[in-house]
Amino acid sequence: MSVQPQASHSLSFRAGLLALPLAFVALPMYVNLPHFYATQFAVPLASLGAVLLFSRLADALIDPLLGRFSDALYAKSTVHVVGVALAYALGLLLSFIALFFPPSFDEPFAYVMWVAVCVTVCHLTFSGLSILHQAWASRLGGGASQQSRVLAWREGAGLVGVVTASVLPVLAGWLPTTFFLGVMLFLSLFLWSLVLKQGRTLPYSDAATQQNDGAAKDNYLPLRQISFRKLLIVFLLNGIASAVPASLVMFFVEDQIQASANMSPLFLGAYFLAGTLSLPLWLKSVRMFGLPKTWLYGMALAIVSFVGVGFLGPGDEMAFLAVCIASGMALGADLVVPTALLNRVIDTLGHRGRAEGLYLGWWNLASKLNLALAAGICLPLLSYWGYTPGTQTPEGLSALSLAYGVLPCVLKLLALATLYVFWIQQPALQPAIRSD
């Protein structure tokens, strides 16, 4: 029997720091990018929404293959993992630069095509690097306490990246922002490579490799597991509920709240900072109440904090700031619990050390689907309902309030009810279903 590796806080920090630049890239992709091209280059919202929907769907469909590729890399050696991670990082940085420093075009359609190509490359390299990074934590193993601690460091670093990404472009511009991204990306990649060389994760044994021969060829293995499907349904509903306001927040702040320019980054910064500071409280809740109930409490807090946001109007800056802080605290539960539950499912099914990347591929597919639906459906619908960025017509603002304030609460209620039925009222963990 092998001894379960233990992750100290120091090791968890060094391994998790890569989440900072990854989150630093993620925020501009779904918050700043639509607003940037709509306001700077007059690209129609409907066109942007269609491009982002197609790109994210294509990216999501490839994620299971990237997960399978991740498993193959870990089965070979850490040198292969580090080499491919470096290639992903280079592609990610170059595509980010291309998106926010585009060449001059005469027609908005040319910008649409530029975004389509560059954002697809950015999404794919981001996904590949993220899956490799997440697979390390999954392969580490351990109980709920260790998993939540490792994930808390990773997600905490991610939140710091998000907070920085929310304020740095406004305060310093996109050139220093891009430089900061490049430095942090390769610094954190170097630290993570040192952790990988320590071999702290569970090794691939010959027996595990032989057992996995059939499973590795079955890209749909995770979807055949009842436990994974139940968790994925909750994750999808909850994720869409969070992705909708994330895609619309810049428009809501500028046109509904009509906040001053220096207040806009404060709202995002307060939201993610509150999420970062709340992580120790959610870790304590995991120890006291377990993972499913902690997630349930987080969802309930999110609903309570967000239920009145649709009634806010011009000048309600302080009220909206309070909403950002309260809903940011609820974010902490979303960051710690779902992936820890996923790792527990992988453990229970006996697929640890064999198919973590495949599970994470489908998991990331669901996450990308959340963002794709939010951007690809909400933006065109808002345009159809009469909302135009920079205008404050009654019809447009009513549509914006409905999409930003009411829809997320309805979806979050559905996620809460599903979580209660699948994970609290009755046991969700089931034995593995073989693929052969």
Q: Is 50 part of a structural domain of the chain?
A: yes
Instruction: For residue range 140-164, list pLDDT tens digits in order.
Output: 755 656 666 777 788 788 888 877 8
Q: Is 304 part of a structural domain of the chain?
A: yes
* pLDDT, mean over the chain: 82
* Integer Cα distance of 354 and 25 in angstroms: 29
Q: Is 391 part of a structural domain of the chain?
A: yes
What's the whole-number mean pLDDT along residues 257-274? 80
In the prediction, which pLDDT does 143 show? 60
Q: Is 431 part of a structural domain of the chain?
A: no
Instruction: For residue range 374-414, list pLDDT tens digits in order.
Output: 767 777 777 777 787 777 788 888 888 888 888 889 999 99
- Burial (CB < 10 A; 0-12, 13-18, 19+), residue 359, is buried
In the prediction, which pLDDT does 234 show? 93
Instruction: For residue range 130-145, list pLDDT tens digits in order.
Output: 989 888 877 775 565 6
Q: Is 435 part of a structural domain of the chain?
A: no
Within 8 A by CB and 6+ apart from 130, the residues are 22, 364
Q: How many structural domains compose the chain?
A: 1
* Integer Cα distance of 253 and 269 in angstroms: 13
Give 236-281 as a DSSP string.
Answer: HHHHHHHHHHHHHHHHIIIIII---TTTHHHHHHHHHHHHHHHHHH
What's the whole-number mean pLDDT along residues 86-99? 94
Q: Is 227 part of a structural domain of the chain?
A: yes
The token pair that represents 52 in the structure block: 């982002």
The CATH number covering residue 336 comes to 1.20.1250.20
The pTM (predicted TM-score) of the whole model is 0.71
pLDDT at residue 207 above 70? no
* Integer Cα distance of 248 and 268 in angstroms: 12
Q: Is 369 part of a structural domain of the chain?
A: yes
**Beta-carbon-side half-sphere exposure of residue 435 (alpha carbons within 13 Å):** 18
More confident residue, 151 or 359: 359
Within 8 A by CB and 6+ apart from 171, the residues are 265
SS3 (DSSP) at 165: helix
pLDDT band at 97 (very low <50, low <70, confident <90, very high): very high
| Residue 385 belongs to domain spanning | 9-425
Q: Is 383 part of a structural domain of the chain?
A: yes
Query: 43 and 108 in contact (C-beta within 8 Å)?
Result: yes
